[in-house]
Copies of this chain bind each other. A is one copy, B any other.
Amino acid sequence: MAKAPVLTPQATDFPRWYQDVVAKAELAENGPVRGTMVIRPWGYAIWERMQAELDLRIKAAGAQNAYFPLFIPEEYLRREAEHVEGFSPELAVVTHGGGKELEEPVVVRPTSETIINHYFAKWVQSYRDLPLLINQWANVVRWELRPRLFLRTTEFLWQEGHTAHATEDDARAYALKILREVYEEVMVDVLAIPVRIGRKTERERFAGATTSWTCEGMMRDGKALQMGTSHELGQNFAKVFGTAYLDDQGEQVNVWQTSWGVSTRLVGALIMTHGDDAGLRLPPRLAPIQVVVLLVRGEDGAGERAAAIAAELSAAGHRVELDDRVDTSFGRRAVEWELKGVPVRVEVGPRDLADGTVTLVRRDTGAKEAVAVDGIARGVADALTAVQDDLREEARALRDAHTVDVATIEEAREAAQTGFARVPWSVLGVDGEQELAKAGVSVRCLQREDGGLAFSSAEPGLSALVARAY
């Protein structure tokens, strides 16, 4: 572990710790235009790994990638009343192009429901064209007054899925398929973040949706982070854009739609779920580099041995980096890899090699172990599995320790200062929700008592999960 405190300790000032990690691990910096972000190579490599895991599952769910324009005519946004009301305050507007003032200003997409529906209306003719399942990887812009790197930026990167279905049931099933088989699976199994999934209240619903489903993670300061949402749009956009199909009775019927997205915000979630006072701690299944082979000193053939070990670990299918920069001090390099969160470090030095061993260090616990060079591949594979499982269980334990069941609004407000509170929705209701909002506490989602999905906010016996949130 790092001996000198390179980062502000979490316990001292969690937001400051977050800023420190983002800077020192070289993840991102502020852009010159307020709220924009430069994603540096290590931050971007993490995002690329997230993209790969998501894209695989999005394609497995049957959606195809496509690309729609950045610029949307303002008029498109105005068609869906709730949608424009929700997004108007955040729009960036282009008024000049090619040296001239534009006749009609265009907005930089804050999300693409409107422009995509313009095309869906052309592409969908008959029930044979359904379901139409489209995803795009893109940048979007929402003007941000209180920006925070990864968590809330004026421009961010994301994927946004948009689908059209013949029936409401189909649309709902698909929205939930994405929620569970893409988002929940990547978050829990790959990012090692034990999210809670549930239904947004009407207050928190996406502007233009009939139902919003969400994945909520708990950060190490007890606050919630909305990590991904999957929306049922009903026929709201279909009606205003005329997206309809000829059913088998020869009738024109508006399609039922979904939209769903996750963004570079996930990088923020990862940092705040697993990071500690020495920096990031990356779950191995996600980590761009899973093992760093760190050459202590190059004497007595240690350099060649380190390279051979790195090659053996690569051949075993791990993502490996060899750090043989012996002109930089060992301590400084060790601190750097800890900051970057590489899950397993293999230290190779002449002294250990003389005994036929290397030192294997787990980033999550700091535990060091002498491992025989002969058994290194097995030792590393076991350590990676252990780190993956232990990070997830540590996060789950922290979350559960900071989740309490309460019976009153007052207790909910109190409990939300340090974590999640579960309060009966019948106790809270729309008025209670508004009261909590004044204290900076929001309903993250509604769930059935057993944690199952609630198909209506009017269902009896629902719990509201409330928290302060990013």
The answer on a CB contact under 8 Å between B67 and A143 is no
A39 sits at the interface (CB 8 A)? yes
The answer to whether residues A70 and B39 also contact, given A65-B48, A97-B92 and a CB cut-off of 8 A, is no
Point out the residue from B41, B65, B93 that lies within 8 Å of A45, measured CB to CB: B65
A106 sits at the interface (CB 8 A)? yes
Kindly state the separation between the CA atoms of A29 and B37 in the bound complex, as whole angstroms: 31
Kindly state the separation between the CA atoms of A73 and B65 in the bound complex, as whole angstroms: 32
The answer on a CB contact under 8 Å between B141 and A37 is no
Determine how close the nearest CB of chain B comes to the CB of A127; give it in whole angstroms. 13
Contacts of A76 in B (CB 8 A): 32
A315 sits at the interface (CB 8 A)? no
Interface size classification for chain A: 35 or more
The answer to whether residues A118 and B32 also contact, given A88-B99, A95-B96, A108-B108 and a CB cut-off of 8 A, is yes
Q: Which residue of B lies closest to A133 (CB)?
A: B41
A33 sits at the interface (CB 8 A)? yes
The answer on a CB contact under 8 Å between B106 and A69 is no
In residues 46-60 of chain A, which contact B (Cβ within 8 Å)?
47-48
A13-42 vs B: 1/0 string, CB under 8 Å?
000000000000000010111001111110
The answer on a CB contact under 8 Å between A45 and B71 is no
Point out the residue from B88, B119, B155 that lies within 8 Å of A70, measured CB to CB: B155
Determine how close the nearest CB of chain B comes to the CB of A356; give it in whole angstroms. 34
Contacts of A119 in B (CB 8 A): 29, 38
A167 sits at the interface (CB 8 A)? no
The answer to whether residues A141 and B33 also contact, given A91-B99, A93-B94 and a CB cut-off of 8 A, is no
The answer on a CB contact under 8 Å between B143 and A33 is no
Point out the residue from B43, B72, B94, B134 that lies within 8 Å of A108, measured CB to CB: B94
Q: Which residue of B lies closest to A55 (CB)?
A: B48
Contacts of A43 in B (CB 8 A): 66
A317 sits at the interface (CB 8 A)? no
The answer on a CB contact under 8 Å between A38 and B65 is no
Q: Which residue of B lies closest to A99 (CB)?
A: B89
The answer on a CB contact under 8 Å between B145 and A71 is no
The answer to whether residues A32 and B73 also contact, given A92-B97, A93-B94, A98-B89 and a CB cut-off of 8 A, is yes
Determine how close the nearest CB of chain B comes to the CB of A140; give it in whole angstroms. 10
A268-290 vs B: 1/0 string, CB under 8 Å?
00000000000000000000000
A210 sits at the interface (CB 8 A)? no
Kindly state the separation between the CA atoms of A72 and B36 in the bound complex, as whole angstroms: 10
A139 sits at the interface (CB 8 A)? yes
Contacts of A36 in B (CB 8 A): 69-71
Contacts of A393 in B (CB 8 A): none
Given A31-B69, A43-B66, A93-B94, 16 additional A-B pairs, CB 8 A: A32-B69, A38-B66, A38-B67, A38-B69, A38-B119, A39-B66, A45-B64, A67-B157, A70-B139, A70-B141, A71-B154, A91-B98, A91-B99, A93-B96, A94-B94, A94-B108
| 25 A-B interface contacts by CB (under 8 A) | A29-B119, A31-B68, A31-B69, A32-B72, A32-B118, A33-B73, A33-B106, A36-B71, A38-B66, A39-B66, A41-B65, A41-B66, A41-B134, A44-B67, A67-B157, A88-B99, A90-B98, A93-B94, A93-B95, A94-B94, A95-B96, A96-B105, A98-B143, A98-B145, A139-B139
